Amino acid sequence: MVQSKHTSVMALAAGVALACAVLIPATSSAEEQKYSFAMITHGQPGDAFWDIIRKGAEAAAAKDNAKLIYLANPTASGQAQMVANAIQQHVDGIAVTLAFPDAIGPAVKQAQAAGIPVVGFNAGNENWKQAGLLGYVGQDETIAGAAVGDRLNSEGSKSAICVDQQQGAVQLEQRCNGIKKTFHGNLFVLYVPGYDMAGAQSRMVAKLQQDPNIDYVITLGAPFVPTAVNAVQMAGSSAKIGTFDLNPSTVNLIQQGKVQWAVDQQPFVEGYEAIDLLWLYKTNGDTVGGGLPVLTGPTFVTKDNINEVAKFAKAGTR
């Protein structure tokens, strides 16, 4: 697990948010206002990562006696339109991912002008202050990338590829850039055509065959892990595999020794805390983090702790 003074403070802040939520009891009485909160993400359909975030948000909404409106669109324009739609529905708060801050920023300003509080989560850790959000919950992707670079160095890696499935998404760029900051070897960013797994596999195979010195493949999303495993086998490569994020398939592959590690940003916590921050603000005027992000990661899931994590993954919360 990667730990620093900064992450310790933010972990403490996250604990404070949870503790405050317990201390301020929610009531289900018909007389009390039931807030409606919109969660708007750039989630890709079929990616289980977003299902986990949604479960966290649903758990917080149930505890807070709030209505959750979950919306997702993987395009910048689509996500911005969903923010506009939420404003028209007069929601009481919005939690949004800032994967495309330039496109989402104007919509966020419209929400704020309408008196709707907005928090960021998951993507946009370097942009949320500029957007004027109340707070941010998630992983510092540059720190996470740097941790991966350090790990590659410790394992003796000399050449690696960083597989980016969404060119232009700031959080993915930050991950690869973070690796570059600390990795002593050669790093090549390989762009693949979104969630077209056949196309992604083809590009990975071609790169591995072109450069047999590559000894590590790093995917930026857990859905690409099985594809990377197949690509390494098809290319006749001995490259190891690591990934950002976690899902049940990745858990199984780590248990089998086919994947070395996963960087877990704990999406359940991201979804939970994003909704809870809105509720705390609406019910008590609270803000959490002291002007800094509330960090939920990174932590490394490896063969050493996979069995402990596996039971939570089976339940759909890791």
Q: Mark whether 89 and 214 lie in a shared domain.
A: no
Q: How far is residue 312 CA from its own chain's centroid?
A: 17
Of 215, 242, 264, which closes a domain? 264
Of the pLDDT bands very low, low, confident and very high (cuts 50, 70, 90), residue 32 is low
Of the pLDDT bands very low, low, confident and very high (cuts 50, 70, 90), residue 30 is very low
Phi, psi (5° rounding) for residue 35? -70, 150
* Number of separate domains in the chain: 2
Q: Mark whether 272 and 128 lie in a shared domain.
A: yes
Asked, as a colleague might, if the bond just before 298 is cis with ω within 30 of 0, I would say yes
Per-residue pLDDT averaged across 244-271, rounded? 96
Q: Mark whether 87 and 103 lie in a shared domain.
A: yes
pLDDT for 46: 86
Q: Which residue has the tokens 């590009």?
A: 203
Check residue 266 and give left, alpha or beta (phi > 0: left; psi -120 to 50: alpha).
left
Of 241, 264, 287, which closes a domain? 264
Is the confidence at residue 134, as pLDDT, over 80?
yes
Q: Mark whether 214 and 233 lie in a shared domain.
A: yes
Q: Mark whether 166 and 287 lie in a shared domain.
A: no
Q: Mark whether 158 and 197 lie in a shared domain.
A: yes
Of the pLDDT bands very low, low, confident and very high (cuts 50, 70, 90), residue 22 is very low
Looking up residue 92, the CATH number of its domain turns out to be 3.40.50.2300
Of 264, 281, 306, which closes a domain? 264
pLDDT, tens only, 39-58:
999 998 888 899 999 999 99
pLDDT, tens only, 215-246:
999 999 999 999 999 999 999 999 999 999 99
Beta bridge partners of 92: none
pLDDT for 99: 92
Per-residue pLDDT averaged across 119-145, rounded? 96
Of the pLDDT bands very low, low, confident and very high (cuts 50, 70, 90), residue 33 is low
286 touches 280 (CB < 8 A): yes
Structure tokens at 264: 């877990």
Task: Give the whole-angstrom CA distance, residue 242 versus residue 258.
Answer: 9
DSSP 48: H
- 272: domain range? 5-21+34-140+265-297
Is the confidence at residue 17, as pLDDT, over 60?
no
